[in-house]
Amino acid sequence: MAVLLGVLVVGYFVLAGLDYGVAMVARERSDYDRIAVFFLANEVWLVGAAGFLIGAYPVSEGELFGAHGVPVGVALLGVVTVTAAYGMRLFTRGRVLDAVAKIGGIVATAGWGAALAGMAFGSTARHDPAPLGSALLDPAAASGNLTPSVMGAAVAVVLFAVHGWAFLNRRWAALGATSAAIVAAVLLVGWRLQWTPADAATLDVVVPIAWVVVPLLLLIQAITWWMFRDTLRPLPHAASHETPPDRAPRIPA
């Protein structure tokens, strides 16, 4: 079960991180177009991850979202905003939509960064015995829980921005490094948390469905990237600087 949840959550943050990262660093409308074709396939991982978390770990889901409802809510608000901005591009274009996408990307990234850092180093971490909600009663606890969330938000914004920049500029080595950093961060959060699975009867239903859904998501992702593989080719400015034959300077006889 942990493997299934890990694949879904990692898949979401690595792939949707491209959506948010590109939205943050895009300078031209064509930059949005390069990621827009992958957008829906990337975002669907959030649905899968949330569904499996609620079905397989309902107690843990309630504790996590209850203790970190504010940053999770901020993240989802950003997700809805950037999704609406990308979706509206099918009908109209404009600087307003570009700005909305940029704001949504920043809000979504900062919200998820704050939530994950709070989960890993706040009151819900298994290595921290502080009870849930203690920050509401103890100012010291509030300060202690706020610090990792703020730092997590800042780190996430920088990391996802570089992630999006690497995709736009076809810097595959850098993209691999940012992807590895995202995977490591997600696994760290998962290790720091205490998970309470659902009862056996529920798992007998949820887990087999997940084993079907996860490969299906991977297949959809592979098909999407193959269909739009032309958008992954090196950009003109990144190509060789050799002078094309038809533009070679002529040497007078």
Higher-confidence position of 87 and 153:
153
pTM reported for the whole predicted model: 0.83
Q: Tell me, what's the pLDDT at 14? A: 97
Q: Tell me, what's the pLDDT at 89? A: 76
- DSSP-derived letter for residue 239 is S
Residue appearing with tokens 């996408």: 101
Distances (CA, A) of 249 to 30, 31, 110, 150, 246: 32, 33, 51, 56, 9
Residue appearing with tokens 């080595």: 173
How does pLDDT run across 135-187, given as a tens digit for each residue? Answer: 433 444 444 567 889 999 999 999 999 999 999 999 999 999 999 999 999 99
d(CA 18, CA 105): 10
Identify the weakest region by mean pLDDT among 72-86, 128-142, 176-190: 128-142
**Six-digit token string for 78:** 């950003």
Parse the chain into domains and list their residue ranges. Answer: 2-247
